Amino acid sequence: MTFQEQIQQGIPSVLPQPKPYETTINHAPKRKEILSAEEKKLAVRNALRYFDAKDHAVLAKEFLEELDTYGRIYMYRLRPEYKMYARPISEYPGKSEQAKAIMLMIQNNLDYAVAQHPHELITYGGNGAVFQNWAQYLLTMKYLSEMTEEQTLVMYSGHPMGLFPSHKEAPRVVVTNGMVIPNYSKPDDWEKFNALGVSQYGQMTAGSYMYIGPQGIVHGTTITVLNGFRKIKKSPSGSLFVTSGLGGMSGAQPKAGNIAGCVTVCAEVNPKITHIRHSQGWINEIIENIKELVPRVKKALENKEIVSIAYLGNIVDVWERFDQENLHIDLGSDQTSLHNPWAGGYYPMGYSFEESNELMANDPEKFKTEVQKTLRRHAAAINKHTAKGTYFFDYGNAFLLEASRAGADVMAENNIDFKYPSYVQDIMGPMCFDYGFGPFRWVCASGKPEDLAKTDEIASKVLEEMSKTAPIEIQQQMQDNIQWIKGAQENKLVVGSQARILYADAEGRTKIAEAFNQAIARGEIGYVVLGRDHHDVSGTDSPYRETSNIYDGSKFTADMAIHNVIGDSFRGATWVSIHNGGGVGWGEVINGGFGMVLDGSKEASRRLESMLFWDVNNGISRRSWARNDGAIFAIKRAMEAQPLLKVTIPNKVDDALLDF
């Protein structure tokens, strides 16, 4: 069968032969036992819904074995034979170009060069899934190949509910992930619902088909590192940034450090992912012996090298050893997946990677105890460095949250706030999000590198023209992005699809998108898929990250994210998604995203102008109402540009009046 025929087939009527478990693949760790005997029967019953009754006897035993062995039913047998990657849009079967673009984006999320655990359909973060099992993937791709412009595909946590009649202006796909009743959002609830096959953790851009590899976060990380050095009034040259994690998102850190121009040390316990990042060029060197690490770092600092070094081992070793050697760390952070601390997101001291995985599956309570012990030790080592002048920031990965729950010394004197700020509180919030700058991204659906180069050139010209009249308040943001996009090609950021990201405000996103659409209309480039990270101005309500610099008491509310997705859906988005849990953990955040296909038409121009304006200014409005000065400036500027926009502006209160 051809690739197109396999897509159109969906779930095959004749079962393929079982596939061997490939040990060379970076697999997800075994999930802990969470289901009772009766619940296991329910999980198998749920999985068999996808198959004809004639196959149930064979599959029931197989699925139970998967559940017992891996803690989940992945349906490995159904994994496609064809190579998984984002093909040019022309190679996908279908009646809708928009649907073909979505198929392209789904396959990009599962590309072996992109996905963290491709055989388990997990893109990043240890548990950020595109689908729960391979039957869902096959059925979704079949539906997309059949879809017309008068239908919408409805996705329930990876399960394609089906194609429903709609209309041309409606989203082609509506995605939800993990949207459980609020009182059932504890970590064990996720474990149970996921094992039952009824819900999944879609992270931010995994389950919304908008992940573009480490590049998706490297720009934001670069801005964070650059502004971190600006905050401490120190040049990155000859300075040291220490952090940990080389997974799907955290893998961007070493590359960002190189672009910023500092020495970066990033610890990682997983050998496979460490060597993958090295082979991809995202890190320069790997060191496995802590005794070798110290002199290498000292030499790099003395010579003012721009180098990224992966330490294959536990990050606590690095913090403690550098303290003993009195090696000064300028910037420090952590980007391990502590939203998922008990299932592979963070590893304890004193155990090998393999021993940790065994302990996680076979004795989860002891594993939790060891992780919390390590978190206390981790925080204690950081405290020693900050006492000597290190600037440490939480990277929104729930490090401080989980450290506090473990009893670590991370609380401020008021015992309410953390002693260290979130990077959003100190850097990204006031410097970027409040002004409307966030991670705008695009993918060239042709798959041609030359199309990406043309879009880089177009975006650069738009930004340079805008910077001539941009107010002083956003000149730094403009210049950072111009520098970024001009260096994008030489930094070799592409992994998977021909994609790019830059931080832009509503005006910048709209003008860049319209310039792309005009270039498509002229036949200069092929179709372009627009999107963004959910980690943005408006899409995410996350009290410990995206909205951590909201100080009016509303940071624990999620109205903004819900309104964002509803508004995007009727303003022209090709697909929309709303998730529980992305970034900082199940039950800790609600976040939304979108995708939009540009085809060179007048309709696309109308949609992008309407939707992108709302997608950003919804968030600026909320941040303005929270009395954030930058957002008040930004929303007033937006109202001047668009007379139909009328937003309630807060009145400031004299603090002296509240001295009672």
Closest by CA to 210, choosing from 90, 76, 102, 51, is 102
Hunting for tokens 């002229």 — which residue is that?
Answer: 522
Here the tokens at position 354 are 């393999």
Per the CB < 8 A criterion, the answer to whether 618 and 461 are in contact is no
C-alpha–C-alpha distance, residues 432 and 631, integer Å: 10
9 is in an annotated binding site: no
> CB under 8 Å to 649, separation ≥6 — which residues?
624, 632, 635, 636
Neighbours of 303 (CB within 10 A): 11
215 annotated ligand binder: no
Strand-pair partners of 541: 590
Report residue 382 CA to chain centroid gap: 26
The DSSP-derived string for 460-494 is: HHHHHHHHTT--GGGHHHHHHHHHHHHTTTTTT--
Give bridge partners of residue 267 from the DSSP assignment: 244, 311
- Which residue, chain included where needed, has tokens 């609600």? 590
Contact 339, 583 (CB under 8 A): yes
Contact 567, 536 (CB under 8 A): no
**631 close to 435: Cβ distance less than 8 angstroms:** yes
For residues 178 and 582, the answer to whether their CB atoms sit within 8 Å is no
Q: Is 156 annotated as a binding residue?
A: no
Beta carbons of 231 and 427 less than 8 angstroms apart: yes
**What values do phi and psi take at 451, rounded to 5?**
-65, -40
Q: Is 419 exposed, middle or buried (0-12, 13-18, 19+ CB in 10 A)?
A: middle
Give the tokens for residue 247: 């997974």
Question: What phi, psi does 490 have (nearest 5°)?
Answer: -70, -20
Q: How many CB atoms lie within 10 A of CB 18?
A: 10
Residues in the chain: 660
Q: Is 165 helix (H, G, I), strand (E, B) or coil?
A: strand
* 268 annotated as belonging to a binding site for a ligand: yes
C-alpha 381/C-alpha 542 separation (Å) is: 27
SS3 558: coil
Q: Please state whether beta strands 391-392 and 159-165 pair in parallel, antiparallel, or not at all (unpaired).
A: unpaired
Amino acid 637 reads: R
Residues 593, 539 contacting (CB under 8 angstroms):
yes
- Burial of residue 656 (number of CB atoms within 10 Å: 0-12, 13-18, 19+): exposed
CB-based contacts of 146, cutoff 8 Å, min separation 6: 8, 94, 95, 163
| Dihedral of alpha carbons 317, 323, 328, 329, sign | positive
* DSSP assignment of 502-532: EEE-HHHHHHHHHHHHHHHHTTSS--EEEEE
Distances (CA, A) of 126 to 250, 265, 643: 11, 22, 46
| Binding-site annotation: residue ranges | 125-126, 203, 268, 395, 583
| Binding-site annotation: residue ranges for NAD(+) | 125-126, 203, 268, 395, 583
